[in-house]
Structure 1
Amino acid sequence: MNDKNFKKLPIQLSEKLITEIKAGNSLFQKSIKENGLPAFVTPVNPTTGKGYSAMNAIILGMQRHDDPRWMSAEAARYGGNWVKKDEKGTIIEFPKTSEIQAIRTAEGKRIKKDGVTQTKTVEFDKPQPGRAFLFNGSQLKDMEPLEEFLAKQQSGQTLSPLERAAKLIDDSKAVIIHGGEEAYYDQKRDAIFMPEPENFENETKYLQAAIHQLTHWTGHEDRLNRTMEGKFGSLDYAREELRAAIAGILIGGELKIGHNFGQQAAYMNNFVKILKDEPFEIAKASRDAQKIANLLLGVSQKRQQKQASETPGFKQGDEISYMDTTYKVLETYKTKSIKVEDSTGSRKVLKPEYGLYKSLLEAKTNPLGQEMVMDEEQGEAVEQEQSQKVGR
């Protein structure tokens, strides 16, 4: 891929969103497809079971597939699946801290042993943007039937989608005051105001609206401390709404109750202006939306509990997706070194001090971290001196 001719991914995403918004069929505007199924299906790597970061999830979700499974052609081949004829991949980006390169002679020829190219791991001083083309399960041959995969996904889930949504709202411990006709978050009073549940079309609509207000509630200085400025209809107001909208899509997809952006028509013109004038804002908004979703879904807490209760390490048979390939652990040693085989058949022994060893361990114990969007942290504390309605 020629970087000089490559249009950066946030720009590509912004341009596509603008086109869809103008056509009235973006994820913000249409949460249900014509076949009656959710417009956004949370993408997942079926081999590792891990999801994708917010921006990548939106990119994949905008393809409108009903199948949540996504992986690279190489990873698919490693699992015995193949890309169907004429299917095109969807590009995503992720930060990579190292790269596997072929070992070459002084003349530039690859060094091979028993017909296998020998490789080395090159560590980067700073994370570099990595790219991968992914294919949906519906684009691959010989995949496990979707119904069976989905049944396995839900096998340990005892609560219904609506029960999970209600539990998420209750677990947040947010102050929710019912009454009136508007749904909004009052930042100064740190309280969510909602119409009575019976005023909504059904329970799903009520829960979706409450979760949307919860996404704004996370911005309080005692929580994620986001800048939430501007009056209704302003660009600053729209920036917060963009973050809340993306987070609502992610949470609704995870809980399987879908999303409802509410008064979306009031924000679309400003969304288009922001995406057109500041295309990289979508990456920043996605990063913040990821934090919102993580906080409300409890992803970070679950990960910390899991890591605290488990001793990090490898075991024979582990399959770890990293850098658009999959590594299988063939042997483990008392020294904690491991022998691995990648999807090309190349084998090597990795010691704990090796960069690739550390990267694979991180990919195993913190799978979400490998897909996080690269952005500088921005977030300054902003004092709110007056009552402010957000998310009307």
Structure 2
Amino acid sequence: MSKNFKSLPVQLSEKLITEIKEGKPLFQKPVKENGMPAFVKPLNPSTGKGYSAMNALILGMKRYDDPRWLTADAARFAGSWVKEGEKGTMIEFQKTSDIQAIRTAEGQKIKDGAGVTQTKTVEFDKPQSTKSFLFNAEQMKDVTPLKDFLARQQEGDTLTPLQKAEKLIADSKAVIIEGGQEAYYDKIRDAIFVPEKSHFENETKYAQAVIHQLSHWAGHESRLNRPMEGKFGSMEYAKEEMRAAIAAIIIGGELKVGHNFGHQAAYMNNFTKILREDPFEIAKASRDAQKIANLLLGTNLKREQKQQTEVAFKQGDRIDYMDTTYKVLETYKNKSIRVEDSDGARKTLKPDYGLYKSLLEAKRDPLGNGQAIDQTKSQSTTTEQEFQLER
């Protein structure tokens, strides 16, 4: 990588500063000119999983109406092709393991009788930062129509976006007091104050305002215990507002209810100053925003509930994970399994292997209703210079 290459948080901060100057960041413009939401929750259509907050911002800032994002390799495996001349968008995520070829002492790859390279799963001592390049479905051809994809996603969904938002608010059990002219969170009283519903243009606007305040509420010492000591107008206060604003964007995208940072104009100059002085603050704010979203959306609880039910592998299972599909060839009495990936590589996995546990989690949660994580492998054939945030 070039010594002059800028890290991803720096690139994102610079892009946000430019958009704030132009008056069009997601904080200020929640709806596009075509009436569609400015932020559409990005997801991997193969796994059904979304992307963590900072990557979701990067992908969302491209402002495609289609939520689907894949690497070029994963798109080809799914029967789609990236259009000629399209540029990938770079994301960054943490890997805890890697699949590597088994080699001889001389460094030669070991292959089986069929000529297939034998592989092993290597667990890292600590998570390693990995980059990958994604393409939106609108950059591809031979893609399932968006209408059909969304219809399948919504099968069995009995609640409207507004009903989901109202349920989230009720499930939080937060103290919400209506009255007055301003919406705010009082940390001392641990209560949210918001104007009466009749003060808002519609019920959705009311829900958006409450969700934003719930993002502050989540930081209380009895919940996420986030520092919130800054006075109004201070940089510390603005940093907290940035976290709440990003969380509201993520939650609004998840529920499809949208977001509305109503008092954004008062913070844009401070946001710009923060991003200039410390570009890596956007990464810190995004991590905190993801924690807020996880708490309010109840994803940790969902994951714990799902893990209470054991899901065994069976021969013939096909499991999407890490932009490939694993087929279970055999199962053994000791619970080990023999699998084959989409490249034809075969391996035997024991229950204590990291890949075994990851495949079991993917089988339990195939639609990605648990905590949003990035499960995209590095695409070595694409160079970092191809990364382009929307101009």
Aligned to 1:386: none
Q: Which runs of 5+ in 2 are unaligned?
A: 376-391
Structure 1 residues 178 and 264, CA gap change in structure 2 (3 angstroms): same
Rounded Cα–Cα distance in structure 2 between residues aligned with 1:87 and 1:26: 24
Deviates more, 1:103-112 or 1:273-282: 103-112
1:214 deviates by 1.1
1:361 correspondence with 2:364: no
Rounded Cα–Cα distance in structure 1 between residues aligned with 2:160 and 2:372: 28
> What are the within-5 Å matches in structure 2 for residues 56-67 of structure 1?
56-67=55-66
1:3 deviates by 6.9
1:17 deviates by 1.2
Rounded Cα–Cα distance in structure 2 between residues aligned with 1:356 and 1:171: 35
CA distances 1:178-226 after superposition (whole Å, capped 9, x unpaired): 1111111111111111111111122221111111111111111111111
4+ runs deviating over 6 angstroms: none
CA distances 1:207-263 after superposition (whole Å, capped 9, x unpaired): 111111111111111111110021111100011001000010011111111100011
Q: What do you get for the CA RMSD once the two structures are aligned?
A: 2.0
Aligned to 1:276: 276
> What are the within-5 Å matches in structure 2 for residues 53-202 of structure 1?
53-106=52-105, 108-113=107-112, 114-202=114-202
Aligned to 1:20: 19
1:118 deviates by 3.1
Partner letter of residue 87 of structure 2? K
1:112 deviates by 4.0
Structure 1 residues 364 and 287, CA gap change in structure 2 (3 angstroms): farther
1:104 deviates by 3.9
Structure 1 residues 171 and 356, CA gap change in structure 2 (3 angstroms): closer
1:124 deviates by 1.5
Q: Percent identity?
A: 71
Partner letter of residue 334 of structure 1? K
Deviates more, 1:178-187 or 1:85-94: 85-94
1:65 deviates by 0.9
Aligned to 2:251: 251
Partner letter of residue 62 of structure 1? M
Rounded Cα–Cα distance in structure 2 between residues aligned with 1:22 and 1:112: 56
1:33 deviates by 1.0
Find the residue that maps to 1:289 and give its secondary structure: helix
1:91 deviates by 1.4
Aligned to 1:48: 47
1:371 correspondence with 2:374: yes
CA distances 1:84-131 after superposition (whole Å, capped 9, x unpaired): 211222111121112222334555444444343333332221110122
Structure 1 residues 124 and 3, CA gap change in structure 2 (3 angstroms): farther
Rounded Cα–Cα distance in structure 2 between residues aligned with 1:52 and 1:331: 32
Partner letter of residue 172 of structure 1? S
Rounded Cα–Cα distance in structure 1 between residues aligned with 2:50 and 2:373: 10
Partner letter of residue 30 of structure 2? S
Q: Is the 8 A contact 1:75 1:343 kept in 2?
A: no
1:6 deviates by 4.0
CA distances 1:7-64 after superposition (whole Å, capped 9, x unpaired): 3222221121111111111111111111110010111111111111111111111111
Rounded Cα–Cα distance in structure 2 between residues aligned with 1:360 and 1:116: 21
Q: Which runs of 5+ in 1 are unaligned?
A: 373-392
1:331 correspondence with 2:330: yes
Task: Name the TM-score, length of structure 1 as normaliser.
Answer: 0.88
> What are the within-5 Å matches in structure 2 for residues 317-328 of structure 1?
317-322=317-322, 324-328=323-327
Rounded Cα–Cα distance in structure 2 between residues aligned with 1:270 and 1:208: 22
